[in-house]
Amino acid sequence: MNPSLARSGIALSLVLLFTAAACKKKVFKKDDEPAAAGDTKDVTSDRSLQVMNYYVDFFNEVLAEAPSPLENYFEYADDNGLSMDDMTKWGNVICAGAGWMKISRDGAKEKLETARRASSGEFAKMPALGDAMFAAGVALGDQREVVCKYVKGGEFKSDGGAKAKDLHKTVVAAHEAWNQAVGGLGAELDRVQDAQSLAELKQHGNDTYGYWFRFMTIQANEFLRVARRDPAKLDASFTALKDAITGAKAFATAKGAGVNESFAGYMKQVDRLASATTKLEKSVRAAKTPAAAAKAVEKQFEELISVYNTMISLHNVLIAAEGRGDLK
């Protein structure tokens, strides 16, 4: 997905695809009107890039804000919810902060309305998916408020924590609904972004900087998708990623001392990615069950996301350099 989607959230198992990948020719401001040139039936048009940015802006904000107030809750809760001991000792920590604040919710809703007004063509399904994600985020916040009222209000002391398990079930259900809603909009964003990225890649020969940083970003993004969704299918993904890394390194080596400085910086992150995925490959191959493989991915996923997000930042630097004519 887009560079501005460079975030991991509380539910890493859902958020992977939404850590962004790749390629915008222009960056439009929300209030850039009239609409950019082109038709939203063509995903590569400037108008489609503009509308995509509207949705990414909304997606990012809600993804960052809505689930984060529950991070402490999930850190302490087990399958039976919060224990008496944790509610007594850590209730203020579990319920620290104000949750998803109204001013932030209103801002996210405004971004969605901006996107909705521009939705047609390839974006026709996104308004309903955006509504579902927003509603699920609000529902998460509502369930947190119920739990925190129970904890901070002291009711758990009078009922001996009897409600904790049932409250936990409602929080988990809300979180699962949130995950589903995130997946719905995220899948549509992925679909459009993939089409945009591949179309842009085709405009560059495989002997150019433009090809190699785009191709490398696309391959890294695809690897992370598979790693997060189905670690059991990583064998082919390891091979494809290693082939891409080998190709990018060969291109950089051929440039010698004259290699573009920004591209060299990007390749340092590719080296980091190579190191991290080599370590992950060993762990995954040593895993005896799919669950163990998934756990190996989970353990290393934050590191992979950190590397990838830096790649995205440098990807954008390279796009700017390309626009100035610096990549030759």
Helices (H), the chain: 12-15, 46-65, 71-76, 84-94, 102-117, 126-152, 155-158, 164-201, 209-229, 234-255, 261-286, 290-323
Fill in the amino acid letter for 216.
Answer: M
Based on the fold, state whether residues 214 and 118 are members of the same structural domain.
Answer: no
Is there a single domain that holds both residue 98 and residue 223? Answer: no
C-alpha pair distances (Å), 178 with each of 3, 84, 156, 182, 327 = 23, 27, 26, 6, 42
Which of these three, 203, 238, 258, is where a domain ends?
Answer: 203
Q: Tell me the percentage of the chain whose pLDDT exceeds 90.
A: 62
Identify whether residues 243 and 146 lie together within a single domain: no
Residues 236 and 190 in one domain: no
Considering the domain architecture, whether residues 23 and 114 belong to the same structural domain is answered as: yes
Among 23-32, 49-58, 152-161, 286-295, the minimum mean pLDDT is found in 23-32
Q: Answer for the pair 26, 194: CB distance below 8 angstroms, yes or no.
A: no
When pLDDT is cut at 50, 70 and 90, the band that residue 156 belongs to is: very high
pLDDT higher than 80, residue 91 = yes
Task: Tell me the CA distances in angstroms from 53 to 100, 170, 296, one per residue in order.
Answer: 23, 34, 33
pLDDT at 268 > cutoff 90: yes
55 and 149 part of one domain: yes
Task: Specify whether 185 is located in the same domain as 247.
Answer: no
* One domain, residues 233 and 267: yes
Positive or negative torsion for Cα 311, 313, 317, 319: positive
Domain of residue 287, CATH code: 1.20.5
Domain span including residue 8:
1-203
Q: 212-221, 286-295, 310-319: lowest mean pLDDT where?
A: 286-295
182 and 193 share a domain?
yes
Q: Give the mean pLDDT of 287-294.
A: 85
pTM of the model: 0.76
**Per-residue pLDDT, 250:** 98
In this predicted structure, the answer to whether residue 37 has a pLDDT above a threshold of 80 is no
Quick one: 311 and 170 in the same domain? no
CA dist., res. 141 & res. 132, Å (int): 14
Residues 214 and 201: beta-carbon distance below 8 Å: yes
Residues 57-77 have pLDDT tens digits of 899 889 889 998 998 999 999
Note whether 165 and 89 are same-domain residues. Answer: yes
Mapped onto helix, strand or coil, the DSSP state of residue 78 is strand
Number of domains in the chain: 2
User: If DSSP codes are grouped into helix, strand and coil, which group holds residue 10?
Assistant: coil
